Structure 1
Amino acid sequence: MEDKVVLIVGGSGGIGSACGRVFAKAGAKVVLAARNQQKVEEVAKEINDEGGEAFVINVEVTDLASVSKMAREVTEDLGSIDVLVNAFGTAVIQPLLDINPEDAKEMLDVNVYGTFLVTQTVVRYMATKKKGRVIMFPGSVGKYSMKNSSLYSASKFAITGFTKSLVKEYKRSGVKFTLMYLGGVDTPMWDSETVDMRVQKDKMLSAEEVAKSTYYAANQPEGSVLNEITIQPESHQMV
């Protein structure tokens, strides 16, 4: 991973920042992109202080001009993007009749339209170079149903279907895709006002564990691809 350019969208906390640390330790040039500039800069400073190479860029994933600017600046300043990690997203986990339509629209815009926009923009560059890896995080609710997660699951199943179609579209193009089906991960998401769910964070996966698996998926030999990974906390095992 030495000197490879890794763009992590959603790098301000949780899985994104943990991925930034892992990739930087392996010698990658890590770009942390997020809307919250302050948090991202704190993570980048930590990485750089430890001898890594991290850069910060602001992005609004639902705005085409912002996403295009991000991809263009990263490519011009650092070179071709080798790995895209789509680690952003919001959650609305509530009973159907309790969901505020405004919250629903915002989540679908970020999780579905944002994922489409970022992926389309970056893959356009990757397809030209005939190389690149894209890591997606549909989570376990993009594979299995869960009570009170109807809308959230819909957004995550959309990512699964989107990615599986892209695998067929870009077969033998040099662009590779990985789906990460993760059970509960200890991230700030669970503290959101739109998540009505009691959880035991001490029994969840850690962001660091997930980051190591993400690195493993992204660091496969050139001629292979890790299509899907399912990781569950021991207490959430599903078959």
Structure 2
Amino acid sequence: MSRFDGKVVLITGAGRGIGKAVAQRFAAEGALLALLSNVEADLTETADELVSGGSVVRNYVVDVADERQVEAAIAAAESDFGRIDVLVNNAGIAWEEPLLDIKPDNWKKIIDVNLNGMFWVAQSVARRMASQGGGVIVNMASTNGLVGEANYAHYNASKGGVVLLTKTMAIELGAKGIRVNAVCPGYIQTPMSEAIDSPEFIEQYIRAKIPLGRVGKPEDVAGVFAFLASDDAAFITGETIVVDGGQLAF
């Protein structure tokens, strides 16, 4: 498929995990890629792999929690490519921490990256999409933004905010030709999840909670981002699409 031939796709958190898989999927479908991450080594490795496969890629090192860095990076991407057709607003962080032990700095860090950063990127890109006549934004939420999970109060709160931010953006931006949706992954095995959970925990989690009998792969999520960004989803906006192997069906 070449659904994104000539389209400029900007992806945050593109250096590894789901963001990297999303970049690979859009590259396979012909997109021109603007990749953002705060980890330069990961970003360079991803970009080099894609360029070696024939893709057009530009890298921008940015901390999405810093609105000035965000604006500078997106302005540079617009200058390099001329426009931004699709935003995959993916950058995020997580760690396990009991509610009663959360320090102010830890709460602020997760909210700054996962919610504030999501907003800074979305606002900056949406302003440009509005002036160019439209575009598509797909935000990274989580099943943790739909249901609670112990020891993730800060993460859950940030992702719940993303869900309502997505719906509000869809309401306000639809008349400007901009569709906005969110993807809510369940348990996806990524470098971030592997740093938190032991193999024994993962096996127990699968048995207890996932009807399909496995954790998700980044590629499982990448295809949903591509669908929502494509014309196949032309009449879908304001939605949160769950990708969880049936976990929330319980």
Aligned pair in 2 of structure 1 residues 187, 159: CA closer, same or farther (>3 Å)? same
Structure 1 residue aligned with 2:155: 152
Compute the displacement of 1:221 (Å): 4.3
Q: Which residue, out of 23, 26, 29, partners 1:26?
A: 29
Q: How many residues align?
A: 237
Instruction: For 2:13 and 2:100, locate their aligned partners in 1 and report how far apart those are by CA, in whole Å.
Output: 29
Instruction: Give structure 1 regions of 4+ aligned residues with deviation exceeding 6 angstroms.
Output: none
CA contact (8 A) 2:163 2:240 kept: no
Compute the displacement of 1:205 (Å): 0.7
Please identify which structure carries the higher helix content.
2
Structure 1 residue aligned with 2:91: 88
CA contact (8 A) 2:34 2:59 kept: yes
Q: Which residue, out of 226, 234, 240, partners 1:228?
A: 240
Does residue 51 of structure 2 align to residue 40 of structure 1? no
Structure 2 residue aligned with 1:3: 6
Compute the displacement of 1:92 (Å): 3.2
Instruction: For 1:185 and 1:102, locate their aligned partners in 2 and report how far apart those are by CA, in whole Å.
Output: 26
Segment of structure 1 superposing worse, 146-155 or 129-138: 146-155
CA-to-aligned-CA distance 1:39-84 (integer Å, 9 cap, x gap): 1111111111112222211111122221111111111111210010
Compute the displacement of 1:93 (Å): 2.6
Structure 1 residue aligned with 2:180: 177
Counterpart mapping for 1:1-239 below 5 A: 1-192=4-195, 198-200=201-203, 203-221=214-232, 223-225=234-236, 227-234=239-246, 236-238=247-249
Query: Structure 1-normalised TM-score?
Result: 0.92
Instruction: For 1:62 and 1:228, locate their aligned partners in 2 and report how far apart those are by CA, in whole Å.
Output: 23
Q: Letter of the 1:93 partner, please give it.
A: E
Aligned pair in 2 of structure 1 residues 150, 229: CA closer, same or farther (>3 Å)? same
Compute the displacement of 1:3 (Å): 1.1
Compute the displacement of 1:101 (Å): 2.5
SS of 2:231 mapped into structure 1: coil
Q: Letter of the 2:225 partner, please give it.
A: T
CA-to-aligned-CA distance 1:83-114 (integer Å, 9 cap, x gap): 10011111133221122332221111111111
Instruction: For 2:32 and 2:188, locate their aligned partners in 1 and report how far apart those are by CA, in whole Å.
Output: 25
Instruction: For 1:92 and 1:36, locate their aligned partners in 2 and report how far apart those are by CA, in whole Å.
Output: 18
Q: Letter of the 1:231 partner, please give it.
A: V
- Segments of 5+ residues of structure 2 without an aligned counterpart are 207-213
Aligned-residue RMSD, C-alpha: 2.1
- Segments of 5+ residues of structure 1 without an aligned counterpart are none
Instruction: For 1:74 and 1:64, locate their aligned partners in 2 and report how far apart those are by CA, in whole Å.
Output: 15
Q: Letter of the 1:89 partner, please give it.
A: G
Instruction: For 2:20 and 2:219, locate their aligned partners in 1 and report how far apart those are by CA, in whole Å.
Output: 9
Query: Structure 2-normalised TM-score?
Result: 0.88
Instruction: For 2:49 and 2:230, locate their aligned partners in 1 and report how far apart those are by CA, in whole Å.
Output: 23
Compute the displacement of 1:192 (Å): 4.2
